[in-house]
Amino acid sequence: MRAADIIIKKRGNPTPQPLTKEEIQFMVDGYVAKTIPDYQMSAFLMAIYFNGMSFEETAALTDCMLHSGEIINLHGKENLGLKGPFVDKHSTGGVGDKISIPLAPIAACLGVQIPMMSGRGLGHTGGTLDKLESITGYKVALSPQEFEQLIAQNGYAMTGQTQKIVPADRLMYALRDVTGTVESIPLITASILSKKVAEGSDALVFDVKYGSGAFMKTPAAAENLATSLVKTAQAMGKKAVALLTDMETPLGLKTGNYLEIEESLECLQGNGPKDVMELTYALASRMALLAGKVASIEEGLELCKQAVNSGRALEKFLKNVDDQGGDSKKLLEQQGKRRSPFHAQLNAESDGYLKIDAYKTGIACINLGVGRNKTSDKVDADSGIILSKVQGEAVKAGQKIMDVYAKDEKSLEEGVAALKKAVSYSKTTITQNKLILKEIK
Ligand code: URA
């Protein structure tokens, strides 16, 4: 087999041909083993980007990537308290998307065991690991033994991916990032799913976002990705569902690393913003349904509410904070008080109905210190924004829209300038998108 022939077959001569599993395996294995250089893998990825892949090719690519590294198996460990089924949630990323943090303890209260492996912020979107690390002492790099023990004890644990999980994705993702080949449905499907399957979940709930702050800008594109994720996961023997959810405007009132931990705490204390609660409950109840812990979504929603109202979900979250090296007492003491000293207030510049663009807010938050411009950048725990008004609300000129916090004076200036461009004022009322547009099963 020759890499050049496989690239030509996918590129088309004259028309592209579907690849066999052996050909896909040759490319993936060769790239990990370094017998296929970056330039050939780049051409291969670009050919996929332009010509797509059939469902069978996507499943083959996912399987080849999955087997490039370690695969965690949580089964057969009932003696440790790992009973399963193991269910995880994956969001395709957004601004203010802290859902995993309140969701895991709530779903764990419903009896689901959750091996949650999360990532860092990517582009304008935030990352669960960066948020968790804003809790002083919280350790996100658990050993496999610690990970298993904590899931058995408390129903869930939160960790990052190790170097050994899907090395093919680590290498291919870095290359895609710099060759304009990220936004491809088969490549995104194989990237996300190979990692999720390697992490040992039996079932997966996907939150596929659409809108300015999402990678998929339209509902149609998000639906294509959701269908590809669900069908490919099912072909790999996993139960899966996806929700298509709105990311035109930031989720919740707080965006930032520590600020999103604080908002998660509020959710678990029964004071969470309506959109964050609705989405958290919708996803957690589907996790419980896939795990066979409830008979219907309605039952799941009811049990989610009870888990929060009884304080059990909060207790589970605080136990997880202590178990993973944080200090839950200190976290509670800091609530509402821990703020960066580099602060400004953004006021409405004119009367109107407020629009807050998620993508532009995410970019502005990078300026403040929340995210990274390059992978080597460090994120700041305490920068971010707290909204006083949300999209669709009527505001008067001079009224406060948000508090802005930055890592230093210069970042504050740049961030505020960028945030001014993220907000606009409509003379007419704004039709709000539905938070949950559709379910794909
Ligand atoms: N997230 C991933 O893990 N992979 C992609 O390709 C895109 C988003």
Average pLDDT over residues 209-228: 95
339 catalytic, yes or no? no
Neighbours of 345 (CB within 10 A): 11
Is the pLDDT at 124 greater than 90, yes or no?
Answer: no
pLDDT-derived band at 355, boundaries 50, 70, 90: very high
Q: How confident is the model at residue 183 (pLDDT cuts 50, 70, 90)?
A: confident
Selected catalytic residue, list 89, 176, 286, 360: 176
- Reply yes or no on whether the pLDDT at 300 is more than 90: yes
**pLDDT tens column, 152-173:** 999 999 999 888 899 999 999 8
Asked if 68 contacts 27 with a C-beta cutoff of 8 angstroms, the reply is no
Give the number of other CB atoms < 10 A from CB of residue 382. 20
Residue count (the chain): 441
Q: What gap in Å lies between CA 425 and CA 356, rounded to an integer?
A: 9
CB contact burial 130-146 (16+ within 10 A = b; e otherwise): bbbbbbeebbbebeeee
Whole-structure pTM value: 0.94
Give the residue, by CA position, lying nearest to ligand 1 atom 5: 188
Q: What 3-state DSSP class applies to 425? A: strand
- Judge whether 75 counts as a catalytic residue: no
CA–chain centroid gap for 28, Å, is 25
Q: Which pLDDT band holds residue 276 (cuts at 50, 70, 90)?
A: very high
Site to probe by mutation for ligand 1, drawn from 53, 62, 124, 192 as the one with most ligand atoms within 8 Å of Cβ, is 192
* 373 pLDDT higher than 80: no
**How far apart are the C-alpha atoms of 154 and 156, rounded to whole Å?**
6
Report CA torsion sign: 132, 121, 416, 398: negative
- In three-state form (DSSP H/G/I as H, E/B as E, the rest C), the secondary structure along 151-216 is HHHHCEEEEECCCCCCHHHHHHHHHHHHHCCCCCHHHHHHHHHHHHHHCCCCEEEEEEEECCCCCE
- CA distance linking residue 328 with residue 314, whole number of Å: 11
Q: What is the pLDDT of residue 178?
A: 85
What is the predicted pLDDT for the residue at 409?
A: 97
Answer yes or no: are the C-beta atoms of 38 and 175 closer than 8 Å: yes
Average pLDDT for 331-338:
98
Query: What number is the average pLDDT over the span 174-191?
Result: 91
Q: Which residue is associated with the tokens 């790239």?
A: 31
Query: Which amino acid is located at 304 in the chain?
Result: C
**Nearest Cα to Cα of residue 269 among 240, 310, 328:** 310
Catalytic annotation on 420?
no
Q: Is the dihedral of CA 408, 413, 414, 415 positive or negative?
A: positive
Residue 348: what are its φ and ψ, rounded to 5°?
A: -60, 135
Between 3.90.1170.30, 3.40.50.150, 3.30.450.40, 3.30.1490.390, what CATH number should domain 342-426 receive? 3.90.1170.30
Mean pLDDT for the stretch of residues 1-10: 97
212: closest CA among 77, 85, 292, 95? 95
Phi, psi dihedrals of residue 386, rounded to the nearest 5°: -125, 115
Stretch among 164-178, 395-409, 420-434 having the lowest mean pLDDT: 164-178
Q: Which residue type occupies 257? A: N
Q: Do 336 and 258 form a contact (C-beta atoms < 8 A)? A: no
Q: What is the Cα–Cα distance from 191 to 202, expressed in whole angstroms? A: 18
Q: Measure Cα distances from 74 to 61, 77, 150 in Å.
A: 24, 6, 12
Question: Is any atom of ligand 1 closer than 6 Å to the C-beta of 191?
Answer: yes
Please state the rounded mean pLDDT for residues 57-81: 95
Going by the DSSP 8-state scheme, the letter that residue 431 receives in this structure is P
Instruction: Output the pLDDT for position 122.
Output: 72
pLDDT at residue 37, as a whole number: 97
Closest atom of ligand 1 to 191 CA is 4
- Indicate which residue's Cα is closest to atom 6 of ligand 1: 188
From 90, 98, 131, 196, active-site residue: 90
139-148, 333-342, 383-392: which range is least confident on average? 139-148
Ramachandran angles phi, psi of 156, nearest 5° = -155, 160
**Which residue has its alpha carbon closest to ligand 1 atom 2?**
192
CATH entry 3.40.1030.10 includes domain 78-165+173-332: yes
Domain 3-52 CATH superfamily: Transferase, Pyrimidine Nucleoside Phosphorylase; Chain C (1.20.970.10)
CA of 23 to the centre of ligand 1 (A): 23
- Does the annotation count 195 as an active-site position? yes
Alpha helices by DSSP H, 236-273: 257-268
Mean pLDDT of the chain: 95
Task: Compute the chain's Rg from CA coordinates.
Answer: 22
DSSP structure string for 101-125 = HHHHHHHHHTT-BEEEEE---BTTB
pLDDT band for position 126 (cuts 50, 70, 90): confident
Catalytic residue among 88, 97, 169, 323: 169
Q: Quick one: average pLDDT of 358-368? A: 96
Tokens 């979900």 label which residue? Answer: 313
Ligand 1 in reach of 188 Cβ (< 6 A): yes
Residue 176 alpha carbon, nearest atom of ligand 1: 6
Distance CA 133, CA 60 (A): 35
**Domain ranges, ordered by start, for the chain:** 3-52, 78-165+173-332, 342-426
Q: What per-residue confidence (pLDDT) applies to 161? A: 82
Q: Angle formed by the axes of helices 297-309 and 100-109, to 10°?
A: 100
Site to probe by mutation for ligand 1, drawn from 161, 183, 191, 199 as the one with most ligand atoms within 8 Å of Cβ, is 191
Residue 192 near ligand 1, beta carbon < 6 Å:
yes
The DSSP code for 369 is T
